Amino acid sequence: MVAPKYWRVVLKLSGEALAGSFGYGIDPDVVNAIARQIKEVVEHGVQLAVVVGGGNIWRGVAGSAKGMDRATADYMGMLATVMNALALQDALQTHGVDTRTQTAIEMKEIAEPYIMRRAIRHMEKGRVVIFAAGTGNPYFSTDTTAALRAAEIEAQVILMAKRVDGVYDCDPLIHPGAIKFEELSFIEMINRGLGVMDATAASLCMDNKIPVIVFDLNQHGNIKKVVFGEKIGTYIGG
C-alpha cells in the first residue's frame, strides 16, 4: 500500500466552500460531501486539522465598507466561522470521524479553547481538529489563521480548497484561455497579484517554509489525491 506523502496537514475551507450552490449560508449536502472526503484521508492515518472561513455568512470588510466599526465587523466574521465549524463537526461525527473544535475566542459551552499542544494530541489520537474563530484578532483572515496554525502544529502543507483546480494567470471562470500554473513561488504569486491568499498569509507561509497546494474541492477524492502526492492543482512553495 502506498503511504500518504503528507502525514500532518491543514485543510483551509473557505466559507463559500460550505455554501455550495446556495451561494450563502451552509448547504448540508456539501458539508457531508466534504466530511466524506476528510474521512477518506483520516482513515489512512493522516493527521488533519481544518481552518474554516466565514465568508458565506459574514465578512468584516463588507460590514466596514458600509460604515460599521471594522473590529466589530471582524468579530462578527469570526463568529460566523464558529457556525461553519459546528456544521462541519456535526457532519464529521455523523460519518464516524472523531472531531474536536477549538475556538480562538473562548466559548467553552460549545467548543474547546485553542490550545496548541492539545490540538496536536487530538490529531495524534486520530481526531480531526477544527480551528474556529480565526486568529481571534480583527484585521486578520482565515487564510492567515491557516498559515499560523500550520506553523504552530508543524503541518507539512496547507491544502487550500477552491472551486477551481489550481492557480491561473487570470480568472478561468471569466477567461476561457486562462493558463494554469503547476508550480509557483510565493514571491511570484504576490508580484503577479494572484488572489490566492492575502499577503499576510503568504509571507507567514514563506517565512516558515510551509507549502500551499491549491486544488478543486468539488471533485470527490481530491483531498486524498493531494495528500497522497498526486500532482493535481497548483503547488506554491519557495
Residue 102 binding ligand UDP, by CB under 6 A: no
Q: State residue 29 phi and psi, 5-degree precision.
A: -65, -40
Map the footprint of ligand UDP across residues 36-55, applying CB under 6 A. Answer: 53-55
Q: Which of 28, 113, 137, 203 binds ligand UDP (CB under 6 A)?
A: 137
**Cell numbers describing residue 158:** 496547507
Residue 135 binding ligand UDP, by CB under 6 A: yes
| Short-list 213, 173, 165, 208, CA closest to 189 | 213
Closest distance between ligand UDP and the C-beta of residue 1, in Å? Answer: 34
Closest distance between ligand UDP and the C-beta of residue 75, in Å? Answer: 7
Residue 140 binding ligand UDP, by CB under 6 A: yes
Query: In this structure, what DSSP letter does residue 4 have?
Result: P
| Short-list 3, 4, 1, 2, CA closest to 156 | 4
User: Nearer to ligand UDP by C-beta: 54 or 211?
Assistant: 54
| Rounded Cα–Cα distance for residues 114 and 106 (Å) | 8
Map the footprint of ligand UDP across residues 61-80, applying CB under 6 A. Answer: 61, 74, 77-78, 80
Residue 60 binding ligand UDP, by CB under 6 A: yes
| Rounded (5°) CA angle 167-171-174 | 150
Give 129's strand partners: 49, 100
Per the annotation, binding residues for UMP are: 54, 74, 135-142
Q: What residue ranges bind ligand UDP (CB under 6 A)?
A: 14-16, 53-55, 59-61, 74, 77-78, 80-81, 134-135, 137-138, 140-143, 145
